[in-house]
Chain A
Amino acid sequence: MAETISVEVARYSPERDTEPSSQRYDVPLHKDWVVLDALNYIKDKMDGSLTFRWSCRMGICGSCGMMVNGEPKLTCATFLSDYAGDGSPVRVQPLRYFPVIRDLVVEITDFMNKLQSVKPWLIRGDEKAVSEGEYLQTPEQLDRYKQFSMCINCLLCYAACPVYGLDPVFIGPAAIALAQRYNMDSRDEGAGERMDVLAQHEGIWGCTFVGECTKVCPKHVDPAGAIQQYKLTATIERFKSFLMPWAAGNSEMESAK
């Protein structure tokens, strides 16, 4: 018989349970299996009612984020064999700080609203006509924001952020990093609009620079860096609007590109 590993999965059904519980399954331990493979094995062969989100299995869709032994992880990129050996089960739980809909599925409307509030799309003063061609960009201009564009909205950074855990009004790491992705884009002219949301207390100022967001990011985005960067930008803007009220706006943001 092949080697096995125990997986202890959080279970919760609002129709049946008043509080979450956990259930243990023994699954085969293959060297190339990730935690998501174990969950799919359970769903396919053992218990079809186990509920979790997943899609691409290759770290692109951002839907399979869960807590694995207490750490936020993409389950498609977390190998079972890294947890084997000491005989204790691998604990799989829903992402921390989010309300649970069922089993491992969390409610993410809060994030979706926050994401939309920072207008993560190109904003232009005047749109060029299609016939005038593309908005061109140099490789150097691309490099300025490229890192932030790698975000896949997997929400691991929210599950890692103690500030979000304590105070859910905090707009959070990914939303700020994605706002910076557009603020730093040479084709974008919306930095001023985004500042209304970001420069509020619930925006960047909630962050106390714990840095866990950057540590857990599976795509090597640096949300903590984005927030610090933006704090400086917002501070300069604030002093400028105080000293030179006529020049306040997004000149600082534009010159940063």
Chain B
Amino acid sequence: MACVSINGANRLGSNSLPELLVFGARAGKAAALTSLEQKPPSEHVIAQANDEKRRLEEQFLRKTGGRERIATIRSEMHQAVESGAGIYRTQDSLQQAADKLQELRERFRNLSLDDHSLTFNTELLGALELEFMLEVGSAIVASALHRTESRGAHQRTDFPARDDRNFLAHALIFRSPDGSARIETTPVVITRWPPGERVYGVKSEVKEVAAR
């Protein structure tokens, strides 16, 4: 999901799509220009790449004997995040999702691939995607647990009100050496439109009249 923070806490697809088109195009052009200016990679970068190559071979391509399948972990992950960190969230539902994701990340280490080929290996791609999704899912759940308020798409039924004093802030997630998430915040810069209350129906008409 695009997050260039021009739409505040909104996450609707129709907002992220133009963000993607505008900022994606700019990012693409900038990346192309940067790559033209790049010198050949340094020894350190090459060594890093070789480490990653070795990890892929050991953890996936040459590994045998694991018992987990990608699809099993993936659908359990979908289920856990959908029910725990879906539209309405609570401390309990989020904690359950966090625990489940932790379990899945451990089980992921026991993954076994059928495909050991180096030609168009889509199963390896699927494994890497799953690994990233588990990590992103954990980050989403951790920041939702941390944010004890409701704002935009983040609706906590145990904390229904918006809390600008503590949470008018972007959450930044860092990975600790042990793999867990550490959360820091950075303040939101309000330019034109301060956050307002999200209301629908008659209430929204009342709000519009009041604004005039």
Contact = CB atoms under 8 A, between A and B. Distances in A.
A47 B69 contact: no
B15 interface: no
A51 B118 contact: no
B123 A102 contact: no
A251 interface: no
Nearest to A47: B114
Contacts of B123: 43, 48-49, 51
Given A44-B70, A44-B71, A48-B70, A102 B117 contact: yes
Interface in A16-42: 16
B114 A49 contact: yes
A14 interface: yes
A134 interface: no
B115 A44 contact: no
Contact of B122 (A13, A45, A51): A51
B70 A101 contact: no
B115 A49 contact: yes
A102 B114 contact: no
B63 to A, nearest CB: 13
A13 B117 contact: yes
Nearest to B123: A48
B193 interface: no
B113 interface: yes
A13 B115 CA distance: 11
A79 interface: no
A51 B126 CA distance: 11
A52 interface: yes
A127 interface: no
Nearest to B72: A44
Contacts of B122: 43, 51-52
B99 to A, nearest CB: 25
A15 interface: yes
A41 B113 CA distance: 15
A222 B117 CA distance: 40
B120 A105 contact: yes
Interface in B13-29: none
A15 B115 CA distance: 12
Given A44-B71, A102-B117, 7 more contacts: A13-B117, A43-B123, A48-B113, A48-B123, A49-B117, A51-B121, A102-B119
Interface of A: 13-16, 43-45, 47-49, 51-52, 101-102, 105
8 contacts: A43-B123, A44-B69, A48-B114, A48-B115, A48-B126, A49-B117, A51-B123, A52-B122
